[in-house]
Amino acid sequence: MRFMGPHGGPRIYWDSLMNLKNVEVRKKANVYHDGRVTSRSIITAEGEMKTLGVMLPGVYRFHSEAPETLDITQGRCRVKVADEQEWHEYRAGESFEVPGSSHFEIEVTELMDYLCHFH
């Protein structure tokens, strides 16, 4: 079964089990929006940059330099990427993509854990 995402591509579903080995974890937290959004940067053995984070309920705006994929591991949110007019809802087990040199708005409706992949 395929589900269509907001940009006509497939809506991505995945299970919550993840196994990352031989990673470097940066001790200093990334803190945004007065501490309502926090994450830790990790670098895989292959040199890929990722962040594991938590967002408290609220509405936030972020800018992206590189393309990003956000996997929602817990909670739910609504997202509006760049200059789109419509909000799209995502929940645990789903992902959304943000193009590089762009921005997105996110409305977190319940405590949200996430994994962000930078491409």
Question: Which token pair is 15?
Answer: 């299970």
DSSP conformational letter for 29: P
Are 106 and 70 in contact by the 8 Å Cβ rule? The answer is: no
**DSSP string for 11-24:** PPB--S-----S-E
Determine whether domain 41-118 maps to CATH 2.60.120.10.
Answer: yes
Residue appearing with tokens 């409706």: 109
Tell me the pLDDT tens digit for each residue of 2-36: 334 444 444 444 455 566 678 899 999 999 999 99
- The domains of the chain are located at 41-118
CA distance 68 to 118: 5
Q: What is the pTM of this model?
A: 0.81
